[in-house]
């Protein structure tokens, strides 16, 4: 992608990488919080939630600066719109992680009883979300080194989204078949939904980059 070779756009690319890493940190902390809840350690889970909130705020801060840098750069109007769309969608992944953290807090504060096997299954979903975000970070890193590597990472994001889709249906089914009370069922459904939406947003980010690549070939 030729425009990334310009100095201004190099700054944007590095900023996009920093933003992606902050999003990755938020998703990783969500996974750790789910693991902690699964082993019956809500205190540690809340520490993970606290770190997640800090990562989400950092992602927001970088997003604002990035969008300002892109708006003032030398990109064409279409390139600028596509890149801002990508940055904002990346930030939404951290927002979904934050939503998930809120539901974990509510599960703790309401003392909702969740079977270990439910936490374990949801943990599989959150674990698969981390590689999806890592591949998005690699997409940003490789934008100026060649299309083949970027395409491989786009396809890897699609693969992760399909895996999470399969786990989503399994998790929802087992939550409804479990002996949990309605309050726990509702909160766990919402937590599962945030993971599914985060995965869908990863795919949307990859779609945006794919469109940008096609536009460069035209």
**DSSP letters for 73-133:** SS--HHHHHHHHHHHHHHHHHHHHHHHHHHHHHHHHHTT----HHHHHHHHHHHHHHHHHH
Query: 70, 12 in Cβ contact below 8 A?
Result: yes
The per-residue pLDDT for 4 is 44
Show the domain range for 63.
Answer: 2-217
Q: What is the pLDDT of residue 141?
A: 83
**Burial letters 181-207, b for 16+ CB under 10 A, else e:** eeebbebbeebbbbbbbbbbbbbbbbb
Could you tell me which residues come within 8 angstroms of residue 182 by beta carbon, excluding any fewer than 6 positions away?
none
Query: What was the pLDDT predicted at 187?
Result: 96
Residue 58: the pLDDT is 96
Contact, 4 vs 143, CB < 8 A?
yes
- Residue 18 pLDDT: 92
What CATH number did the domain enclosing 13 receive?
1.20.58.220
| pLDDT value of position 216 | 63
Q: Which residues contact 77 (CB under 8 A, 6 or more apart)?
A: none
Number of domains in the chain: 1
Give the model's pLDDT for residue 212. Answer: 81
Length of the chain: 218
Average pLDDT for runs of 10 along the chain of length 218: 50 82 97 96 97 96 86 67 88 97 96 94 96 93 76 95 95 94 94 97 93 69
pLDDT at 144: 64
């Amino acid at each position: 992608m030729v425009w990334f070779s310009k100095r201004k756009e190099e700054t944007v690319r590095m900023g996009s990488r920093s933003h992606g890493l902050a999003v990755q940190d938020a998703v990783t902390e969500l996974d750790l919080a789910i693991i902690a809840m699964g082993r019956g350690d809500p205190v540690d889970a809340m520490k993970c939630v606290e770190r997640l909130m800090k990562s989400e705020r950092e992602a927001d801060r970088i997003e604002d600066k990035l969008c300002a840098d892109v708006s003032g750069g030398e990109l064409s109007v279409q390139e600028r719109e596509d890149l801002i769309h990508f940055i904002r969608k990346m930030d939404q992944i951290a927002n979904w992680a934050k939503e998930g953290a809120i539901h974990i807090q509510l599960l703790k504060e309401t003392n909702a009883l969740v079977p270990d096997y439910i936490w374990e299954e949801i943990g599989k979903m959150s674990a698969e979300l981390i590689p999806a975000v890592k591949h998005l970070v690699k997409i940003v890193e490789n934008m100026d080194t060649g299309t083949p590597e970027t395409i491989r990472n786009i396809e890897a994001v699609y693969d992760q989204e399909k895996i999470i889709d399969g786990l989503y249906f399994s998790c929802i089914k087992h939550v409804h078949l479990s002996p949990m009370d309605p309050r726990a069922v509702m909160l766990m459904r919402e937590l599962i939904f945030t993971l599914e939406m985060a995965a869908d947003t990863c795919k949307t980010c990859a779609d945006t980059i794919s469109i940008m690549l096609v536009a460069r070939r035209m």
